[in-house]
Amino acid sequence: MKLIEAIIRPEKLEPLKDAFLEAKVNGMNIRQILGCGNQHGWIAHNRGSTVMMNMIPKIEIKIVVADDKVEETVKVIMDICRTGEIGDGKIFIKPVDECIRIRTGERGDIAL
Ligand SMILES: Nc1ncnc2c1ncn2[C@@H]1O[C@H](COP(=O)(O)OP(=O)(O)OP(=O)(O)O)[C@@H](O)[C@H]1O
Ligand SMILES: [Mg+2]
Query: Which listed ligand is nearest to 36 at the C-alpha?
Result: 1
What local confidence, expressed as pLDDT, does residue 49 receive?
Answer: 82
Residue numbers of the domain that contains 74: 2-111
Nearest CA to ligand 1 atom 28: 36
What local confidence, expressed as pLDDT, does residue 109 receive?
Answer: 96
- What CATH number should be reported for the domain holding residue 84? 3.30.70.120
Q: State the pLDDT confidence band at 42, using cuts at 50, 70 and 90.
A: confident
Give the chain's mean pLDDT.
94
Examine the pLDDT at 13 and tell me if it is beyond 90.
Answer: yes
What is the Å distance from ligand 2's center to 89 Cα? 7
Say yes or no: CB of residue 19 within 6 Å of ligand 1.
no
15-25 pLDDT per residue, tens: 999 999 999 99
If one residue of 90, 92, 93 were mutated to test the ligand 1 pocket, choosing by the most ligand atoms within 8 A of its CB, it would be: 90
How many independent structural domains does the chain possess?
Answer: 1
Give the 3-state secondary structure percentages of the chain, helix then strand then coil, rounded to 5: 30, 35, 40
Helix axes 70-81, 13-22, angle to 10 degrees: 140
Share of the chain above pLDDT 90, in %: 83
